[in-house]
Chain A
């Protein structure tokens, strides 16, 4: 057949079963078109066929015969045809849409961006002046999990203006509220709006994610999953699969040369379940295949026969703790009993005028990062193994792969790739080890790509919890005691379950000063998919419980919900329920006041009363309020360190290197800005290299909102060390004291001379030294839970208000507006911060209203993206965000974490608003509209 692709005539014969996305990606090399689901759900694969946007993952390639296809790679050309191309050599040629997506910070992980831009382009072709509503409708099925939907809308509006010959819109960033009485240090780069260093490649389709890579001789792997939740593997026959032409290797547990388990903290997760061993969830691997093509590998899976002796399925953590429950692991079903003790809760409840008790439930939820997991393992001629993967913890990958191969860690080289989102879901091993085992066995590069179905089944989720809260307070609102009991469903394997549930437990009394607190948590193994890290790290769940009961308490005491929180809020000098004295950087009250002020402007004195929508008596609106806190960093006595290296080059550029992960959150921009700040030069002069275990020092896991703080500090200190070393060299050469040497605007000023940084690099090299510095930053020491003292070196704080509209006839809930104030210590990059603010709130909305990963008796019901809803642009409320700056002394320029905190109070703010609107207390997530109707009809 013949078709036109990006203006070029292409002759190609469609293959059986081939979709347009595969033709474009695999045979025409146009990998800018992404595949996120292959279910026509996510929109990442959107291309234009004869001017109309279609989903190329489910569009038969044959149907494109005679048609004209436009992909992201061809977009800029459509704009420049017939226009002056002056300056095109220096500047990448971008369509205004591409430029505006960058300028407005709408590009984060970047995986959805080609689909967003192509869909938006089609809209503007038909409608040069779309309303916000029309933009939402056009993009309603083009999902972004970083969820910077407001920025996307603004980018499209701005591009539309430019295309009409009007002025573009300025980017929207959160106003900053500074801690009163604090002087602002003078900074050049920090606090300015900076685009991402990888933004251009992400908007023009040249960005390479792991699945976009190909190597000569590369084989394709697939994994045979148990698909039974609990069983003993009795028998496994792989001979037929091995005999299938095109199959190069079929491996089972016996073929693992090294250790047979993997894990992040506890090595309890079998790489492959062996005969006679226990299958603990449907996603357990029993055999792996490498073949010439993915189709052959898939066929081979069907030829593998397994027999199981089925066991009783443990489907919830409460059952798991019962004495007669089958034991899933050698040490039993209890991963950890976590305890928090402060004062004497019995005394606290005795002193209380009011005591409330309620039990809450939260569901398993799914990260649903847009890019499904992909690993490529490639044996090198010198006997090492390269792993290409987008992973949140490259050094942990290296260690786990090496263990499985029985090699020293250094023989494995993890080469981190762009990551299409992670949110905690790319901390554990996915296909890295399997790919390496197959590459080792065959001597060929092996790609192991999860399809969305496999991704949903296999990787660890957010813990489902049951949380009972008992709270006591004096009549004036002062809390006297909080007692919580939590059950956490950590699923089949530990992953980071113990850490997650510890955080849930320590935060379960909320960001309040409570004289008497007691918390017990049982993190239990079950036969559900494992649960691990997920943005919020346990605090999402416990914040829902405590913030709900705080509103119930406000109601019982007839105290304004904001006032109740004000009375009890943590402040400088407060003691947390783990016994930590907060000495600085407690911006909670400022967050509360900021949101309260906005709320008053919008809704007057009584924002929490129910209002009927005029002319529609079945629609009721109200605001709800919630606060939260979240630690920055690992804490609990874990050594929290990161290494970074900064090098100066003879072209005057700098490079900063660390293994810390960029998953879309914007760390690379932060690191580049920090180094630029220290050298007082434009950020474009700084390159950032991340996630490579040969080239970059260990930055530790990218988790716990820690990277800006820990790796940011490492980069800052490394830059300072380098600056000092350079100054020392120059001082010696020019015979001046090092203090008289200054670095400004890419120049070194020495006693009246100015040298370019490139010249400085040459001078140092001539002295036989390399102008680079390494720094290993150790965060302030923390104490394990139960020992008192500082369990964490910093906390971020948040207050949010959400306005909802509840349909009393159908129970449907809509979030209309969210007001948010987050204490981030110090704003590094307002543009990146905005993305975190918007995306975090959207994820909180999803957690409250749309997201429910359903597992029944160990069987995953939500095994397709079509069954797991994440918020779309249609769910996007008006978002008003503020950044509050209460700097933390040890943070870089005062910064602390933001990735998680922003998402945490959103859910309870929404459920509290629902209560205020219609009087129904939501105590189980996600909100079930049917329950609302049922409760209303009961009332």
Chain B
């Protein structure tokens, strides 16, 4: 049985929205690198119509505007990575999406799909959350800008309606004294999804952390903001005492669980401390860099 019957490639947002409204059992598809596999393997309820978002100009935006990066939801990840502003002003995002899939997958996969798939440890989403990205969503009623977490209803469950489309992400650009970093730990066996990942954004003032955002996955049903840990770190110098306290608080506020064949909760709690220290250190060091300078090779292994 064919996994879809009709495949539409609308050229405009309006056309896409009206197709999604009109067609029964329809579903928007961006890169489709997750969705198509789920359909093929029977892990997604059958669809009749796929509405392909890859050709819509509004979703292909890639620009800096008023201190923010606008990243179109359908821009293939490799193009996002290759766009210098992402590397300089949203380094965590660049690092995170460099780790998604392989090169061929990244030529098709999109940030919109990464968020719409709504997995709690999606690398792109964790980085976006740390960077405090807003999501521009289009619906038949119009467009709205909403916080990232408003797109989530549960693990693998998006809060977006069928006829709602992620248009773009608005990512505040790091300014002077601000920087971000992303890290993850994988298991060499089994599914290529991070055992645990973390994105950190921070603003430094002299030898203190003035402001910070920490996103962790998978902790709970959706990407997790470690707000209590952030509170501990805010205004503090980056010393062992602060780190120890932050690690303690992170381990108490995060909710890690055991995933069979992947990781025990115990290991994940352990990794939380490791990732916190390493990611924080990297972001901290990056605040010293002048953006005009070369950032050096990002870690793009995996």
Contacts and interface: CB of A to CB of B under 8 A. Distances in A.
B153 interface: no
A805 interface: no
B244 interface: no
Contacts of B264: 930
A224 B256 CA distance: 39
Contacts of B261: 854, 861
Contacts of B105: 40, 55, 141
Nearest to A126: B82
A937 B266 CA distance: 12
Contacts of A62: 7, 9, 52
Contact of B190 (A38, A46, A812, A869): A869
Interface stretch (B17-25, B33-41, B56-64, B119-127): B33-41
Interface centre among B3, B5, B187 (most CB of A within 10 A): B187
Nearest to A138: B103
Interface string B284-302: 0000000000000000111
Given A55-B104, A933-B270, 13 more contacts: A17-B2, A43-B102, A43-B104, A53-B104, A60-B4, A60-B32, A813-B188, A849-B188, A851-B189, A864-B41, A866-B191, A869-B192, A874-B301
A849 B186 CA distance: 13
A926 interface: yes
5 residue pairs, one from A and one from B, having the closest CB atoms: A141-B102, A17-B2, A16-B2, A62-B7, A52-B107
B221 interface: no
B26 to A, nearest CB: 14
Interface string A433-473: 00000000000000000000100000000000000000000
Contacts of A864: 41
B205 interface: no
Contact of A16 (B4, B108, B271): B4
A583 interface: no
Contacts of A937: 270
A40 B3 CA distance: 16
B103 A295 contact: no
Interface of B: 1-7, 9, 29, 32-33, 36-37, 40-41, 50, 52, 54, 76, 78, 101-105, 107-108, 185-192, 261, 263-264, 266-267, 270-271, 274, 300-302
Interface in A880-939: 926, 929-930, 933-934, 937
A302 to B, nearest CB: 9
A140 B6 contact: no
Interface of A: 14-19, 38-40, 43, 46, 52-55, 58-60, 62-63, 65, 119, 137-138, 140-142, 295, 298-299, 453, 809-810, 812-813, 849-852, 854, 861-862, 864, 866-869, 874, 926, 929-930, 933-934, 937
23 contacts: A16-B2, A38-B40, A46-B104, A53-B104, A53-B107, A54-B108, A55-B105, A63-B7, A63-B54, A119-B103, A140-B102, A140-B302, A141-B103, A142-B102, A295-B1, A812-B185, A852-B190, A861-B261, A866-B191, A868-B190, A869-B188, A874-B302, A934-B267
Contacts of A15: 2
Contact of B1 (A19, A298, A852, A867): A298
B189 A850 contact: yes
A58 B101 CA distance: 13
Interface centre among A38, A141, A851, A854 (most CB of B within 10 A): A141
Contact of A39 (B37, B190, B263): B37
Contacts of A142: 102, 104
A141 B2 contact: no
A40 B300 contact: no
A813 B36 CA distance: 33
A861 B54 CA distance: 34
Nearest to A115: B104
A886 to B, nearest CB: 36
Contacts of B33: 40, 58
B253 to A, nearest CB: 21
Contact of B7 (A14, A55, A874, A930): A14
Contacts of A813: 188
B52 A867 contact: no
A850 to B, nearest CB: 5
Contact of A929 (B54, B107, B187, B300): B187
A65 B264 CA distance: 46
A62 B55 CA distance: 12
Contacts of B2: 15-18, 295
Contacts of A874: 301-302
Given A16-B4, A852-B190, A63 B271 contact: no
B189 A852 contact: yes
A43 B267 CA distance: 32
A46 B301 CA distance: 21
B282 to A, nearest CB: 13
Given A16-B2, A60-B52, A929-B187, A810 B103 contact: no
Given A58-B32, A869-B192, A929-B187, A299 B1 contact: yes
Contacts of B270: 933, 937
B243 to A, nearest CB: 14
Contact of A40 (B6, B37, B76): B37
Interface centre among A15, A868, A869 (most CB of B within 10 A): A869
A243 B153 CA distance: 44
Given A15-B2, A17-B2, A40-B33, A926 B185 contact: no
Contacts of A59: 32, 108
Contacts of A39: 37, 40-41
B104 A16 contact: no
A119 B189 contact: no
A850 B104 contact: no
A869 B262 CA distance: 13
A361 B273 CA distance: 31
Contacts of B107: 52-54
A141 B101 contact: yes
Contacts of B300: 137
Nearest to B79: A52
Interface centre among A55, A138, A813, A849 (most CB of B within 10 A): A55
B233 to A, nearest CB: 20
Contacts of A849: 188
A368 to B, nearest CB: 13
Contacts of A18: 2
A54 B267 contact: no
Contacts of A58: 32-33, 36-37, 40
Nearest to A849: B188
A857 to B, nearest CB: 12
B225 to A, nearest CB: 23
A867 B190 contact: yes
A933 B267 contact: yes
Nearest to B270: A933
Nearest to B186: A812
A455 B143 CA distance: 47
A854 B104 CA distance: 28
Contacts of A862: 190
Contacts of A850: 188-189
Nearest to B82: A126
A62 B186 CA distance: 35
Contacts of A866: 37, 191-192
A866 B37 CA distance: 11
A59 B37 CA distance: 11
Interface centre among A119, A298, A453, A930 (most CB of B within 10 A): A930
A123 to B, nearest CB: 8
B42 to A, nearest CB: 11
Contacts of B191: 866-867
Contacts of B190: 852, 854, 862, 867-869
A160 to B, nearest CB: 17
Nearest to B33: A40
B91 to A, nearest CB: 18
Interface centre among A14, A58, A851, A854 (most CB of B within 10 A): A58
A119 B188 contact: no
Nearest to B40: A38
